[in-house]
Amino acid sequence: MKNKIKKIFLISLIFLFLQGSGVLAVDSNYSREIKEIQKQIEEQQKKKKELEEQQKIYEQKIEEKRKEAASLKTELNIVGNQIYKQKIAIKAKQNEIEITDLGIKNTQFQILQKKKEIIEQKNEIAEVLRLINQNDKKGFLEIVILSNSLAEVLGFQRRLNSLENSLLKSLEGLEGRKEELTQEEKKLQNTRGELTFLQKQLEGEKTKLTSEQFYQTKLLEETRGAEWRFQSLLAQAISDQKTIEREIASLERQARERLTFEDEEFLEEKGEIIFSWPVPSGVITAYFHDPDYPYRRWIGEHSGIDLRAAQGTPVRAAASGYVARAKHGGLGYSYVLIIHNEDFSTLYGHISKINVEEGSYIRRGQVIGLSGGMPGTAGAGYFSTGPHLHFEVRLKGIPVNPLNYLL
C-alpha cells in the first residue's frame, strides 16, 4: 500500500510538471511563417487558373485561324496569337516554379518546427525521468506530510492511468515524428527535383518564343508584305519538302538493299534500339507533330523534335549504324541520315558542318557534325526558326515520336 501511494503521488507530481511544461504541446514558433506561405500559395494558385484561362482563349483563336485558307494575313495572325500564347505559357511556368518554391519553403519551416519539437520533448522527458529518480528517493513519511490528506493522495488515482498513457504516447510520438521528419525531407528532395525540371521546361518555352518571334520577322522580310510572294514561298516550301521526303525514302531503300545484313557490327543493332540524345541540352523547342509548329499548315506535320543547340554544337550519333546520306545543302537544308538496322534509322537536320562520309560505319556517340539553324548560314535552310537540331527517328521509313525511343 505504501509503495502504491508513493507511486501515485510521484506520478501526480510528474503530471503537474507536464501540465506546466507542455510536453505534448505543439511548438508554434513557425506557425505564422507557415500560414503566410500557405496564403501566398493560394494567391499563386488563383493566378495559375487565370493564366490557364488566357491560354485557352488564344488556343481557340489559333484554331479558328487555322481553318481559314493559307494566306499571309492568316499566317501572321496565327503566329501573333502563338507568340502571345507562348508569353502566357512562360508566365504560367514561372508561376508553377514560384508555387513549387513556396512549397519547398513551407516544407522547410515544417521540418524546422518538428526538429525543435523533438529537441524540446527530449529535454522535457529527460527532466521527467530526473524528477522521478529524485522523488523516488524520498521517504513515505515525507510524501504524507506534503499531502493535505490521504484522500487527496488517493484522489490522484484517477489521473494515474491518464498520466501513464500520456507519457507513453509522448515517447511513441517522438519516434513517430522522427519518421515523419524523414519522409518530409524525402518529399523536399523530390520537390527540388520537380523545380529543376520546371526550370528546364521554362528554358525551352523561352527558346520557343524566340523562334516564333524570329519566324514572324523572317516571314515579313521574305514576303515584304506581298501576298503573291507568300504564295510563292509556300509553293516552294511544299515542293522542297516533298523532294526531301522522296529522297530520304529512296536512300533508305537503296542503303538497305546494298547492305548484306551479314556484317557482324550491323547485327549487333538488330531489334528495337534505345537511342541516346544527339545533343546535350535535352530542351525541346518543337515536339513531334507539334500543333504550334510554324510550317505545319504549309508542309504537314512536324516529323521529329527540335532540340535547343547553340550554333556549332557537336552532334553525336544516337546509335551505331551506316551513314546512308550526308547531304551538304549549301545555304539550303543539310542533313545526315543513319541506318541502324533493318527497321530503324535517324535523321539529323540543320547541320552546319558534316564530319562523316556516306557509306561509313559509325559508333554510338561519335560526332557526326555540328549543329546549325542560324538563318543565312550553311545547312540552315531558307526558313529555319533559329539555331537548333532537327532530330527524327524513323521506323521502316516512317517518322515516329523520338521521345518513345530516347534514353
> Where are the domains positioned within the chain?
2-220, 229-404
pLDDT at 167: 65
Fold (topology level) of 229-404: Glucose Permease (Domain IIA) (2.70.70)
pLDDT at 277: 96
pLDDT at 304: 94
Between CA 298 and CA 305, with CA 304 as vertex, the angle to 5 degrees is 105
User: What are the backbone dihedrals phi and psi of residue 311, each rounded to the nearest 5 degrees, phi first?
Assistant: -55, 125
Helices 157-223 and 227-258: crossing angle, nearest 10°? 110
pLDDT at 77: 85
In whole angstroms, what is the distance from residue 234 CA to residue 274 CA? 36
With contact defined as beta carbons under 8 Å apart, do 363 and 390 qualify? no
Which residues of the chain are modeled with pLDDT < 70? Answer: 1-29, 127-171, 174-175, 177-178, 258-272, 297
pLDDT at 29: 60
pLDDT at 299: 73
pLDDT at 19: 47
| Cell triple for 103 | 512549397
Residue type at 190 in one-letter notation? N
Q: Which of 82, 5, 33 is nearest to 297 (CA)?
A: 82
pLDDT at 74: 83
pLDDT at 300: 77
Radius of gyration of the chain (CA): 35
